[in-house]
Amino acid sequence: MDGFLGRYRNLSVLVIVIMAQLVLLAVQVKNNQDVRLIRVWAVTAMTPLARVLEGIRANTFGVAGEYWQLLEVRSENRTMKVDLDRLKLENQYLKEELATAKRVEAMASFVQRNPSKTIGARIIGAGSGMNSKVVFIDRGSTSGVLKGMPVITPDGIVGKVTASYPVGAQVMLITDPTFACGVVSDKSRIHGTVRGQGNNQLLVDYIQNEQQVAVGEVFYTSGDDRIFPKGLPVGPVRVARQGKLFKEIYLAPTAFEKGLEEVLVVLEGVHQQIPDLLPGAGTGPEAKPLAPPPSESVPTPVDATPQQKPDQKLSTDADKLLEKYRSIGEQQGVRYGNPGRVPNFNAPPPVVKPPAPKTETPPAAPVVPPN
């Protein structure tokens, strides 16, 4: 036996160890009990090492992990800052786009409403010089823009084209000291000439001191200058006081209130009605809204004034006077303009039919004078 074990020592040991473990296994399976002692030894041997390992991990890998996390946070922060800057730019761009869209929408609405033939243009630059009151627009003669054409916005008149080039045009603003155009007030229908002052105010000239003009009253173009069609807003009265020869009336141009970016060049002007005074309008400097010209009014081309049809509404005071004298002459059997008997113009005028609903009538509502 000893010889066998000695000869097959390795195999014998293997068999013994395997058998021992099989017995151990069998006992556990049969009794359904664990050999707790071996497990206690194993866990006792393992626990200190595991604790050390966990400590090393927590103090090295944990710190390293936090360091990496910090680096990631830093990188993420940098990325987010870049994203934020990009989003800010995008936001600004979208705001600009939105504002442009609103302006274009307002302008399109105005163009639809306005009987004059217009073309949209964008302001691309200002004139050189500190006191320059001219701007350049991106529409020129190839687009039909010619010298002398009025430039407007839905808010009011801007100026007139002073030079036209193939792809651009120079526009003199209404604030230029050499600018002038005819205006009429919406409340008292007083005619005057508005002049630029080189600043942000316009002076309405040639109005007698006896005329009553209230602060807040809005002036519109009268069409007398044959440049601007009648009925375009110019601005409300900011200052109205007695002058040496004429009244000193200063307007705040409404076209510049929202800044100038897009404008309309009037290619073919058509006169419009002066809007009636809005309730609440003209109550002071805060009065902002301007009544849009009524769309149902019959437009009158600027250049077509002599060819007006008899049933067409007259627009200027001279036209009204002419019509009055013609009717007096017809009443007395005298044809106006023919040589011969002169009609008695002091005779009472014929009974005139009540005016159309949209004729120029004095305002019904009293205007509260400013403080």
Partner 1 sequence: MPLPEYSEANFVEGRRRKSSSSSFRPIVFFLVPLFSVLLDIFLPRFIESARTLEFPLLITIYFSLMKRQPIAGIAIGATIGLMQDSLSQQPLGMFGIVKTLVGYFAASVSLRFDLNNPALRFMLCNFFFVFHQFFYWVMVRALLGQATNINGMDELVRSLLNSAVALPLFLALDKLREDES
Assign 236 to helix, strand or coil.
strand
Q: What are phi and psi of 214, to 5 degrees?
A: -100, 150
For the bound state, the minimum distance from the C-beta of residue 71 to partner 1, rounded and expressed in Å, comes to 20
Q: Which stretch binds partner 1 (CB under 8 A): 12-20, 172-180, 269-277, 360-368?
A: 12-20
Position 13 contacts partner 1 (CB under 8 A): yes
**Is residue 21 a contact point for partner 1 (CB under 8 A)?**
yes
Q: Which is nearer to partner 1, 62 or 369 (CB)?
A: 62
DSSP secondary structure of 8-44: THHHHHHHHHHHHHHHHHHHHHHHT---HHHHHHHHH
Regarding 17 and contact with partner 1 (CB under 8 A), the answer is yes
Residue that is written with structure tokens 């991990």 in the block? 57
Can you tell me the distance from the alpha carbon of 37 to that of 119, in angstroms, rounded to the nearest whole number? 100
Q: Which residue has the tokens 């009636």?
A: 276
* CA atoms of 49 and 334, how far apart (whole Å): 131
Least Å distance between CB 76 and partner 1?
23
**Residue 231-270 contact track with partner 1, rule CB under 8 A, x = bound:** ----------------------------------------
Is 29 or 351 the residue whose CB approaches partner 1 more closely? Answer: 29
Which of residues 30 and 353 has its CB atom nearest to partner 1 in the complex? Answer: 30
24 makes contact with partner 1 (CB under 8 A): yes
- Asked if 9 is part of the footprint of partner 1 (rule: CB under 8 A), the reply reads yes
For the bound state, the minimum distance from the C-beta of residue 67 to partner 1, rounded and expressed in Å, comes to: 17
Minimum distance from residue 7 beta carbon to partner 1 (Å): 14
Residues in the chain: 371
Member of 2, 6, 10, 357 binding partner 1 (CB under 8 A): 10
Count of residues engaged in binding partner 1, rule: CB under 8 A: 26
Angle at the Cα of 98 from the Cα atoms of 96 and 104, rounded to 5 degrees? 100
Euclidean distance between CA atoms 234 and 180, whole angstroms: 12
| Contact region with partner 1 (CB under 8 A), list: 9-17, 183-191, 224-232, 345-353 | 9-17
Q: Which is nearer to partner 1, 43 or 321 (CB)?
A: 43
Residue 18 found at the interface with partner 1 (CB under 8 A): yes
Q: Where are the alpha helices (DSSP H) in 264-359?
A: 317-331
How far is the C-alpha of 293 from the C-alpha of 309, rounded, in Å? 22
Query: Nearest-CA neighbor of 288 among 236, 215, 364?
Result: 236
CB nearer to partner 1: pick between 25 and 73 = 25
CB closer to partner 1 out of 47 and 209: 47
Widest CA span in the chain: 171
Q: Which of 272, 261, 270, 255 is nearest to 117 (CA)?
A: 270
Q: Is the dihedral of CA 360, 362, 366, 370 positive or negative?
A: positive
Nearest distance, CB of residue 54 and partner 1, angstroms: 8
- Compute the least distance from the CB of residue 45 to partner 1, in Å: 6
47-to-53, 59, 60, 92 alpha-carbon distances in Å: 10, 18, 19, 62
x-or-dash string of contact with partner 1, 25-64, rule CB under 8 A: x--xx----xx--xx-xxx-xx--xx--xx--x-------
Q: Where are the alpha helices (DSSP H) in the chain?
A: 2-7, 9-31, 36-56, 62-113, 317-331
CB of 33 to partner 1, least distance (A): 10
Question: 33 vs 307, which CB is nearer to partner 1?
Answer: 33
Q: Tell me which H or E stretch contains 254.
A: none
Query: By the criterion CB under 8 A, which residues form the site for partner 1?
Result: 9-10, 13-14, 17-18, 21-22, 24-25, 28-29, 34-35, 38-39, 41-43, 45-46, 49-50, 53-54, 57
